[in-house]
Structure 1
Amino acid sequence: MSVLPDPGASRAVLIGTSRYDHLEQLPAVSNNLTAFASLLSGPLSLRLPAPHVTVVENPPNPGTVLDPLRQAAADATDTLLVYYAGHGLIDPHDALALAMPHTQPGRIETSLTYDWLRHILLNSRAQRHVVLLDCCYSGLALGRMSTAPGLADQAAVEGTFLLAASAETRTALAPVGETHTAFTGALLDMLRHGIPGGPPLLDLETVYRNLRLTLEARAHPVPQARNRNSGARVALGRNQADLPATPATAAAGLEPDRRLWPDPTSIRTVTGFFTNLAAVRETSGLTQQEVSRRSAGRMSIGTISRLVNRDTLPATWDTTAAYLAACGVPGDQIQQWNGAWQELRRNAATTQEARTSAPGSTAGHGKARRRFSVLWPGRDH
């Protein structure tokens, strides 16, 4: 079953190099980063809070990439998404290297070795990893690709869906005059406009198949993909072409299409609760005014707006239940929403109790408590 990650428990790190000292310039990469970051934080994709999306553009050294990636890997418990756009190189040992501004062909120490990034992913707390590589290759690398393992094979990580744009020429990766590179441009377009006749959620398997068809039709190189542990079921957004223009509640005697509704069983955080709650109305096809009318006077437009824009759980359930019912959510799913609400409240109470009962706690004394993050030592693989 396809599932959207909980935005409160997920992170994204977007890496891109557009300026090079010794390689061809890729100005479209800068546009890629801006557009993709905006999309991931908006209603057309994962709705990640802006602080959960880190952009690393033209990194001067590997540490500039690896440090924020380590932090995201430590923070993410649901899904960690890593994206790279720029020149990709194959080193003398047939390992993948990601080019940086000062990268020199033949000097692998000037690149970011993918194995370093891969090691961080292997030690991440996230249950799922999504790796998107929009790379091109030099002529030497292209000559060796026929006998070397494919990019997706080299970069695979357990628990990961890897989607790699295996561009064959530089102009194919970044067509002259285009705002975005070929691969990322097609991906952005798909997430913005959806796939007519496609499934309600754009999971990675669907994204991969559609990208292959689209890029092949444009005479661009087709992407590669590798899936580990059902990573293909992770969705990057709802299918905008599938969202109803009219209320999703079916006519009398007909069951509504339950695949359209956000899944409350995937909610792990308060942020995820309200993000999905807002998505319920969009899925229903109703305006806030229509939801208010269908609530039989129990909710004003202002009440609806305040509900979906909260950052703390409501103390009572009635308003949320009235909102879900007015949007047309089936009764059994409303019960699942109630279960998610109760679980989050229990977790919040347990966390608060642990804080106040911990040795040395300063609760009740008005003193600020320092927060520490623990970095676990890496494991051998």
Structure 2
Amino acid sequence: MSVLPDPGASRAVLIGTSRYRHLEQLPAVSNNLQALAGLLTGPVSLQLPAQHVSVVEDPAAGQSVVGAVRQAAAEATDTLIVYFAGHGSVDADALSLALPGTEYGRIETSLPYDWLRQVLLLDSRAERHVVILDCCYSGLALGRMSASPGLADQAAVEGSFLLAAAAETRTALAPVGDTYTAFTGALLDTLHHGIPGGPALLDLAALYQHLRRTLEARGHPVPQARDRNSGSKVALGRNHASLPAPPAVLSPGTVSGERPWPDPGAVRTITGFFTALADVRVISGLTHRAVGERSAGRISAGTVSRLLNRTTLPRTWGTTAAYLAACGVPDAQITQWQALWEHLRAQPATAEADEARPAPPASAGSGRARVWPRSLPVFRRKRG
């Protein structure tokens, strides 16, 4: 079953090189980073807290990249997303990621992809890994997803998914005049607008198939992918092309048709609790006022707004139960929500952003994050 990561227990590291001293410039990469960071922290996608997304642009050395990934790998317990955009090269039959000072033929000036892979295998606490590579020859990484026997014994990863912009022998593309590179632009567009007729959650399997069809139809390089265990079921957002319509009848306790309600069993943190709770209203198709009207006077539109904008758990369960019932959530799922609320309430009062808690039983530059002003860059047609 597809699952949205808990934003409180997940991390993302977005890496990109747009300025080079010896290679062609790739100004579109800077736009990629800014847009993807905004999307991952916004309501369209995972709604990660801003401090959970690290953006490493034009890193001076591989050490800063590996350090940022290692820190995120130590903090994430649900899902870790690692993205790279820039030039890619083939060194000793393996993929290397180009840094600002990279020179062709000088392997010591690049970042071997295997360095990042080892961090994910050995240093990560996350159950799921998502690696997205928007660079030339990125398909080379597909053959290096599995660990050697020694590494596999030390790695405990439930699911991994690697999405590559191009095959191992193909260059990636940055069309002239486009704001983003071809692959990342298609990814951003799909997450923003959804897939008509697609699944309720945009999991990586659905995204990959849609991107293949879209980019192939445009005559662009065709992406490649490989998953391990349940990696393909990780979702990067809801399908905004297939959200259910508002219910036709606004009587309390009824919602027309089945709806893809958020799964409380996938929530581990207080941040995740309120993110999923807000998703309930989105899936219901109701406004704050309509939720109040359907509650038979138990809650008002203002109460709904205050509930969804909290950062600490309510001390009593009644308001949340009334909200879920008014949205149309089935009684059995409301019971699971209450078990989750009780579980989180019982946890020690530690910093939510730093401490991810296990879910209850189902039955119950520098590596610093930055935001850049959007520019109007000049693009190269291909990159290597």
Q: TM-score range by the shorter chain?
A: 0.7 to 0.9
**Counterpart-to-counterpart distance in 1, 2:119 and 2:192:** 30
What stretches of structure 2 of length at least 5 have no aligned partner? Answer: 148-156, 352-384
What's 2:114 paired with?
A: 115
Q: Which amino acid aligns with 1:33?
A: L
Map residues 139-288 of structure 1 onto 2, 5 A cutoff. 150-156=140-146, 159-166=159-166, 173-247=173-247, 256-258=257-259, 260-288=260-288
8 Å CA contact retained: 2:250, 2:294 = no
Q: Percent identity?
A: 67
CA-CA distance at 1:150 after TM superposition: 3.6
CA-CA distance at 1:247 after TM superposition: 3.0
CA-CA distance at 1:346 after TM superposition: 1.7
Distance 1:254 1:69, change over 3 A: closer
CA-CA distance at 1:59 after TM superposition: 0.5
**Counterpart-to-counterpart distance in 1, 2:249 and 2:115:** 49
8 Å CA contact retained: 2:254, 2:328 = no
CA-CA distance at 1:348 after TM superposition: 3.0
The structure with more radius of gyration: 1
Q: Once the two structures are superposed, what CA deviation does each residue of 1:13-52 show, in whole Å capped at 9, x if it has no partner?
A: 0000011111111111100000000000111111101100
**Counterpart-to-counterpart distance in 1, 2:270 and 2:127:** 18
Q: Which amino acid aligns with 1:342?
A: E
Q: Secondary structure at the match of 1:226?
A: strand
Q: Once the two structures are superposed, what CA deviation does each residue of 1:105-146 show, in whole Å capped at 9, x if it has no partner?
A: 011111111111111101200000000000025xxxxxxx9x
CA-CA distance at 1:234 after TM superposition: 0.5
Distance 1:174 1:155, change over 3 A: farther
**Counterpart-to-counterpart distance in 1, 2:285 and 2:117:** 41
Q: Secondary structure at the match of 2:322?
A: helix
**Counterpart-to-counterpart distance in 2, 1:72 and 1:303:** 36
Q: Once the two structures are superposed, what CA deviation does each residue of 1:302-360 show, in whole Å capped at 9, x if it has no partner?
A: 211111111111110000000111111111111111111111112237x79xxxxxxxx
8 Å CA contact retained: 2:255, 2:327 = no
- 1:66 corresponds to 2:66: yes
8 Å CA contact retained: 1:151, 1:166 = no
Q: Which has the higher helix share?
A: 1
8 Å CA contact retained: 2:255, 2:328 = no
Q: Which amino acid aligns with 1:305?
A: S
Q: Runs of 4+ in structure 1 displaced over 4 angstroms?
A: 155-158, 167-170, 248-255
CA-CA distance at 1:68 after TM superposition: 1.5
8 Å CA contact retained: 1:45, 1:236 = yes
Count of aligned pairs between the two proteins: 338
TM-score, length basis structure 1: 0.84
What's 1:326 paired with?
A: 326
CA-CA distance at 1:160 after TM superposition: 1.2
8 Å CA contact retained: 2:82, 2:131 = yes
Q: Which amino acid aligns with 1:247?
A: P
Higher RCO, Cα 8 Å, sep 6+: 2
TM-score, length basis structure 2: 0.84
What's 2:32 paired with?
A: 32
- 1:96 corresponds to 2:86: no
Q: Which amino acid aligns with 1:103?
A: T
- 1:290 corresponds to 2:290: yes
**Counterpart-to-counterpart distance in 1, 2:230 and 2:173:** 29
Distance 1:156 1:36, change over 3 A: farther
